[in-house]
Amino acid sequence: MEDIRVSKTKLLFALLSANRTLRHNETVVSAQETFELGFFSPGNSTNHYVGIWYNKISVRTVVWIANRNTPLTNTSGELTLTHQGVLVLRDATTSNVVWSSANLSTRSVRNPIARLLDTGNFIIHEEGEETDQEDPIWQSFDFLTDTLLPGMKLGWDLVTGIDRHLTSWKSDDDPASSKFSISINTRGYPEVLIKDKQEIKFRSGPWNGLRFSGNPTVIPNPFYNYTFVVNQREIYYQYNLINTSLLTRIVIQPITGHIERLLWIESKQKWELYLDPESDHCDEYALCGPFGSCNIYNSPVCTCLKGFEPISPDEWRVADSTRGCRRTVRLECGGGDGFIKYTNLKLPETRGSWYNQMMTLVDCEKMCKSNCSCTAYTYTNRSGTGSGCLLWFGNLTDIRMFVENGDTLYVRVSASELDSIENSRGSNARKRVRVIITIAFVALVILVSICLFYLYNRKKQQEQGTPQNEFGRDSGTRSGDEDLELHLFRLSTLLKATNNFSVNNKLGEGGFGPVYKGVLKDGQEIAVKRLAKTSTQGLHEFKNEVISISKLQHRNLVKLLGCCIKGDEKMLVYEYMPNKGLDSFIFDENKRKLLGWCARYNIINGIARGLLYLHQDSRLRIIHRDLKVSNILLDTNMNPKISDFGTARAFGGNQIEANTNRVVGTYGYMAPEYAGNGIFSIKSDVYSFGVLVLEIVCGEKNRGFIHKEHCNNLIGHAWLLHTEGRSLQLVDKCLGESFNASQVLRSIHVGLLCAQRYPEDRPTMTSVIMMLGGEGPLSSPKEPGFYVGKSMHDTTQSSSSYGASSNNELSITMLHGR
């Protein structure tokens, strides 16, 4: 859509007056030359259209088209404004009318003028009424194509009956109306729908006075503000720029139907995506069916509301929940029914709803209770005092749960079901009290035991003259010193081993602090990570790393030999890796040639085995959370060892995932659900592994890689090559043709399976190892996450190969996305 050819010899008109004609080599420009209107041909098409595009930017970008469904096949088109105030596009060779504007105004027209405004709106108004742009005779903003600009209204003019909606292009070469559309549904309480033909793909949820119900993480931003208007004259969504010097647009894509909010970045001379409203599996319309709710943090994601049960339990057992749920007890319809309160929801589909914006919540409940067909209610205005009433009749469809900032819904159930739920809550509360008392008693016994052990151990250390373990003194998270089976090094020992931490012994430095090479008295080589006072990681990560890997033993994990804690000095002692980190080879123009395909394939398999041990075979399930090339160390024989467990988290029992408000990791390796919502699991490590595999094959960093043709990052480039059957073009050029094509293709395929957008689609590491070593067919990967390049230049220095996160650490305390 952005590759257009414009026939133009001069800027002829600032406006069109009656009976003036615009021809193929002439254009109309806005007052400040922001927008331009004229004839153009998109992409490789030979057809011709009248359209509006940005005038001053280097990438020609069309935002509106007059004759999108009736193209001209030659250059003889003429656009004329008649005395009646109607724009007419003719083919001059046949005199046939190709397109004309609709004059919906009932007022008489004397001297019409057509003017292109700097908002991108092409309007017809009376001469002498240049300043009256609120009520034009006709305007292009009433007839949207695939783009929503600031100031445009998406929605309905209830007086004229105009439905302002977006429709995608068929392709980059054909702007004709295609199957994807964005519109506002007016049956019941209005909400925005994205459709594939007549099938709903996504809905925004109703407006709650602050934001759409399905988008609770929208927060104020420096680019634009937005509003949603519902009254007797019109219903529309609109956004306006805060900084009018910025260029931004919302576009519906032709192939996927995705909605993209794009911002023009002048320094990069390109459009960049900065908001995508469809974020995860639960945004799929009606995924859990009637009276079902979707929670992306659960597995499976669908559950029935309280008081409801699956219509088809057999289908639910195989993860098909689309038929939804039914009531376990029928409604009594009368004074006996009650309501269960749900919070943090995306409210149900509103096509079967009724609303009154002036009614109080109390009156809203009374009205719902008095109507046997009413199934739920809520208030419609969160920005005010909770006023406004929204009632649902019939099924409640397309509900999802959020962690926070969602809306409240009151769902109707029978009195007997309500009693059962309340009794269950009471029983659960009593159970919780008993469990809490038991846990408190056990904790007291353990605490006393730890204190006695600590005093005994301290006395023993003092008697033997060994260094004191200060770990317990400043840790509130440990389960006791007996859980550590590490050698405690004296500070004097490490000072001597590293020549007083000489600069000549320094191996590197990262977020943790400097790393030094040392040699112990018996000749053993070690690597010492010294916690810096200015460390971006700190004591928490230091303790976490000790606790996480103190008992981990695997040939593909770096071995922690011990630690030293003396006053302000806190150090970790590792086995020394003579070949340092994988990043020092794979991303170095000269040293990468030393890594042939066999070595790379061995490294991929070794990392996979180490990750499998962490996820499945270790004492606790360990989620690394910062798996990247610089955290893979290489021993003398170039065998890989996973390092840096400062951000790792341990799972116990049957726990499979968790979420956090402090996202730490490295751009380019973090899974979408972790970077966007703080959700991490073994599948977020699998995503990082997928990125790692592609980097090892290609010899390029995912972050900072921008393909010159399609501007994708490494994941996107690999995905496009795979879909086109050209995966071997991804192979590092320094390998020439000395590689096993079957292993390379299989590695790329597995990497893309691991990097899929949704965690439930990614394989486990058990499956990964089987796929890498097998020869059978593999399933086709779905679209990867974060595959569109953002031109984020990698400004970080090479971190220590001993696992410091360096400047790559990302810390997010307020999660937002979409």
For residue range 296-332, list pLDDT tens digits in order.
878 788 999 999 999 999 899 878 899 999 999 888 7
SS3 readout for 224-251: EEEEEEECCCEEEEEEEECCCCCCEEEE
| pTM assigned to the model | 0.55
Structure confidence at residue 810 (pLDDT): 36
List Cα–Cα distances, 237 to 104, 105, 204, 782, in angstroms.
22, 23, 11, 33
Identify the segments of the chain with pLDDT beneath 50. 7-11, 131-132, 278, 462-484, 536, 788-818
Q: What amino acid occupies position 774?
A: G
To 10 degrees, what angle do helices 741-754 and 714-723 make?
A: 120
Which tokens go with 431? 């159970």
What SS3 state is found at 439?
helix
Contact 686, 674 (CB under 8 A): no
Residue 499 exposed, middle or buried by CB count within 10 Å (0-12, 13-18, 19+): middle
Residue 135 annotated as catalytic = no
Count of residues for the chain?
818
pLDDT digits (tens, 9 = 90+) for 687-734: 999 999 999 999 988 877 777 676 678 998 999 999 999 999 999 999
Ordered domains of the chain (ranges, CATH) = 4-281 (2.90.10.10), 282-413 (no CATH), 472-575 (3.30.200.20), 583-808 (1.10.510.10)
Name the residue among 343, 314, 325 with its Cα closest to residue 402: 343
Phi, psi of 178 (to 5 degrees): -115, -160
Structure confidence at residue 35 (pLDDT): 95
95-103 LR contacts (CB < 8 Å, sep 24+): 98/67, 98/70, 98/72, 99/50, 99/66, 99/67, 99/70, 101/66, 101/138, 102/138, 103/137, 103/138
Q: What is the DSSP letter of 543?
A: H
List Cα–Cα distances, 411 to 342, 351, 394, 403, 738, in angstroms.
8, 17, 11, 19, 65
Q: What is the DSSP letter of 780?
A: P
Contact 164, 149 (CB under 8 A): no
319-351 core/surface letters (b: 16 or more CB in 10 A; e: else): eebbebbbbeeebeeeeebbbbebebbbbbbbb
Q: Considering 626, 685, 732, 761, which one is annotated as catalytic? A: 626
Strand partners, 53: 36, 62
**Cα atoms in the Cβ-side hemisphere of radius 13 Å centred on 228:** 18
Which tokens go with 319? 């993860």
Left if phi > 0, otherwise alpha if psi is -120 to 50, otherwise beta: which for 589? alpha
Structure confidence at residue 478 (pLDDT): 37
